[in-house]
């Protein structure tokens, strides 16, 4: 079943290739979505796909890129909108 998650990731997650990391992992898992830096220093991730792949992405969000230091990952689950195409960074 296709689901959607919206995550807010906090810690040292901006300026450390975190968005690129999320895009690459999301694509490898066959997900579609977006990742963007927010003005409060957090990163927002929206992803759609199979629930198992989304759960794996959440695990990867905690790990992050080599230079990242993730302190928290807040996750909200919902029904997929079906409007997202590809996995991309929002600048």
The catalytic residues are: 19, 37
Q: Name which of 42, 45, 71, 41 is nearest 58 in CA terms.
A: 45
């Amino acid at each position: 079943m296709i689901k959607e998650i919206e995550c807010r990731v906090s810690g040292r997650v901006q300026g450390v290739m975190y968005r690129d990391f999320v895009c690459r992992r999301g694509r490898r898992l066959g997900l579609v979505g977006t990742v963007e830096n927010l003005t409060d220093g957090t990163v927002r991730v929206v992803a759609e796909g199979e629930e198992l792949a989304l759960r794996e992405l959440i695990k990867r969000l905690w790990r992050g890129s080599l230079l990242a230091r993730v302190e928290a990952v807040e996750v909200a689950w919902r029904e997929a909108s079906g409007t997202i195409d590809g996995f991309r960074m929002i600048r």
